C-alpha cells in the first residue's frame, strides 16, 4: 500500500523538475522548503503535509535543510489525487508522522512492526483532511483505544462497545474511519506485539500464545505468518541476532 522513506535533505539543496512517479505524501518534520507555483513560491514549513499525484516540481531547501517523511502510494491508497494539496500544520497529524518516522528509522526490529498500523492511520487522517473531515475523534474512541492498549487487544468488540457506551457497528465504522484499520485488526496487532515482547524474553512459544490471547501455538503461528510474513521461530531468531550482534532486521511485507 505504501513505501515509507524518512529523508534528511542537506541545507541549500535545490530540486529542479523533481519527479514523483506515483501518488505521494510528504510530511515536513523539521526545516522546510519553498515550492514553485504558477504565481510565485509557496513556503512549506514544519508540520505541513504535502499530497500530490505523480508530478514534477521545483523546490529549494533553506539554510536548515529539512527532515521529511515521504510515503509513495499505489493509486488506490487515497483515491484520485491531482494537483498538490498542502495540509496546514496539525498537531495530531504531525505526532502521527513523527511516530512513523521513528518506527521507519529504527534499527531495532521491534518498532518496525508498528509500520503498517501507523501508515494506515496516517493515510486515514490525510484522507479525512482531503475530504474536509478533519474534526477530532470522539472522546469515546480515545477511551476505546486505551482499553485495547491496556488489555493488549484481548477484549471482544461487543464488550468494548459496551464499555464506551456506543453500538458495536458505530464503534467499528468510526474506528476504521479514524485509525485506518478495523478494530479487530488493531487488536490483533496488539496481541502480536505482546507475543513479540514475550518471545524476546525467551518465553516458550506455547506459553507466549496463551499469554497473548491466541488459542494455541498454531493459531499464533498462522496469525503471525499472515500479518508479518514470519513464523514465530523466524522472528525469534531475528530478535536474537539483533540482541546479540545488533544486526538482522526482519523483512516486513
Mean pLDDT, the chain, whole residue set: 88
Instruction: Give pLDDT, residue 248.
Output: 46
Q: Which of 182, 236, 229 is nearest to 208 (CA)?
A: 236
Instruction: Give pLDDT, residue 253.
Output: 38
- Which CATH code for domain 137-245? 1.10.10.60
Instruction: Give pLDDT, residue 138.
Output: 92
What is the rounded distance in angstroms from the CA atom of residue 16 to the CA atom of residue 20?
Answer: 12
Instruction: Give pLDDT, residue 239.
Output: 77
Q: At what angle do helices 168-179 and 157-164 cross, to 10 degrees?
A: 90
- CA-CA distances (angstroms) from residue 215 to 158, 167, 204, 208? 19, 27, 15, 11
- The answer to whether the CB of 203 falls within 8 A of the CB of 161 is no
Instruction: Give pLDDT, residue 169.
Output: 96
Residue ranges in the chain modelled with pLDDT below 50: 247-253
Instruction: Give pLDDT, residue 154.
Output: 87
Largest CA distance in the chain: 64
Instruction: Give pLDDT, residue 249.
Output: 47
Cα Rg, the chain, nearest whole Å = 20
Q: Which three cell numbers stand for residue 195?
A: 507475543
- The answer to whether the CB of 28 falls within 8 A of the CB of 6 is no
CATH topology of domain 2-89: Jelly Rolls (2.60.120)
Q: Beta partners for 40?
A: 37
Residue 186 class from Cβ within 10 Å (0-12 exposed, 13-18 middle, 19+ buried)?
buried
> In which region does residue 138 sit, left (phi positive, over 0), alpha (psi from -120 to 50) or beta (all else)?
beta
Instruction: Give pLDDT, residue 250.
Output: 44
Instruction: Give pLDDT, residue 61.
Output: 96
- The answer to whether the CB of 168 falls within 8 A of the CB of 192 is no
Instruction: Give pLDDT, residue 240.
Output: 74
- The H or E element that residue 135 is part of is none
Which residues of the chain are in CATH 2.60.120.10 domains?
2-89
Instruction: Give pLDDT, residue 44.
Output: 94
Instruction: Give pLDDT, residue 1.
Output: 62
Which residues of the chain are in CATH 1.10.10.60 domains?
137-245
Q: Which of 137, 57, 151 is nearest to 93 (CA)?
A: 137
Q: Beta partners for 56?
A: 19
Amino acid at each position: 500500500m505504501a513505501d515509507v522513506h524518512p529523508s534528511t535533505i542537506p541545507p541549500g539543496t535545490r530540486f529542479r523538475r523533481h519527479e514523483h512517479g506515483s501518488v505521494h505524501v510528504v510530511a515536513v518534520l523539521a526545516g522546510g522548503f519553498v515550492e514553485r507555483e504558477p504565481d510565485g513560491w509557496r513556503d512549506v514549513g514544519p508540520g505541513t503535509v504535502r499530497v500530490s499525484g505523480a508530478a514534477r516540481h521545483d523546490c529549494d531547501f533553506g539554510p536548515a535543510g529539512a527532515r521529511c517523511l515521504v510515503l509513495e502510494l499505489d493509486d488506490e491508497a487515497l483515491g484520485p489525487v491531482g494537483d498538490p494539496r498542502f495540509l496546514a500544520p496539525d498537531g495530531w497529524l504531525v505526532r502521527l508522522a513523527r511516530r512513523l518516522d521513528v518506527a521507519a528509522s529504527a534499527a531495532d526490529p521491534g518498532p518496525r512492526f508498528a509500520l503498517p498500523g501507523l501508515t494506515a492511520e496516517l493515510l486515514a487522517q490525510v484522507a479525512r483532511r482531503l475530504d474536509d473531515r478533519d474534526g477530532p475523534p470522539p472522546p469515546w474512541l480515545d477511551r476505546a483505544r486505551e482499553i485495547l492498549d491496556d488489555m493488549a487487544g484481548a477484549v471482544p468488540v461487543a464488550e468494548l462497545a459496551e464499555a464506551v457506551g456506543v453500538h458495536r457497528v458505530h464503534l467499528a465504522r468510526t474506528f476504521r474511519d479514524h485509525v485506518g484499520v478495523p478494530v479487530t485488526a488493531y487488536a490483533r496487532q496488539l496481541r502480536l506485539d505482546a507475543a513479540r515482547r514475550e518471545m524476546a524474553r525467551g518465553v516458550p512459544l506455547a506459553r507466549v500464545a496463551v499469554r497473548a490471547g491466541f488459542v494455541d501455538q498454531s493459531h499464533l503461528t498462522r496469525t503471525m505468518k499472515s500479518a508479518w510474513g514470519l513464523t514465530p521461530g523466524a522472528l525469534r531468531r531475528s530478535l536474537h541476532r539483533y540482541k546479540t550482534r545488533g544486526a538482522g532486521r526482519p523483512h516486513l511485507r
